[in-house]
Structure 1
Amino acid sequence: MNNPLIIALVVESVIVVVMFAVLCWLVRGQLKLKNDYQALNDIVQGNSNDIAGLCSAALTVDSRIAAVDSQITATYEQIDDLAAKLAEVEQIDQSSHPYSGDIRKVRSGASVNELMQNSGLSHDEAALLIRLHGSKTQP
């Protein structure tokens, strides 16, 4: 009788030891998973912080780009306005100006003598036109 009882106790003891070993293995695995989960959670939190920072920076850059874009648009409008004003000034009938043809001749390189002969200007008038409208390299 002792024999089956001892065998049963030994089997139960082996089962208890095996269950204890499995329990220790499971606890160890659970701790490892918990540490892995914490590490991954830290990584995800860091990535979330990085993404939040990038979104904030993107919004700042977007607002700056919008401001620069509006400044560029305003500048283009000013350039268009100035170009229109310049066109208006150029459209004024320059032919009504008594010296417009002579000024064109000076800009194309006419000399004092040529102006005097072709346009009937005095020497002083021709010299003045050349000083005012001639190229800088001309004496």
Structure 2
Amino acid sequence: CSAAVAVDRRLANADARLNSIAERVAERPRAALDTPAVAGAVERPAQGYEDVIAKIRRGVGVEDLVRDCGLTRDEAVLLTRLHGGRSRL
């Protein structure tokens, strides 16, 4: 029984914390929620990767993708590995 009571207390504490966080988020101005989470982040629509993939298939390098497309280096490397240098079956 004591284990069940301890779990119940932890759940009640977690629920209270979650409600507190939800209230703080609800109080934030809408404009603050629309800004990118990372300073200097570039927002791209999901279909924006189509242009990047086309560039990769034309042989554009990782550094060029970072500079010209606003990708992080990790994004550029991943997309290059996924879409570059191999014939598609």
TM beyond 0.5: no
Structure 2 length as normaliser, TM-score? Answer: 0.44
Greater relative contact order (Cα < 8 A, sep 6+)? 2
Structure 1 length as normaliser, TM-score? Answer: 0.29
| Structure (1 or 2) with the larger CA radius of gyration | 1
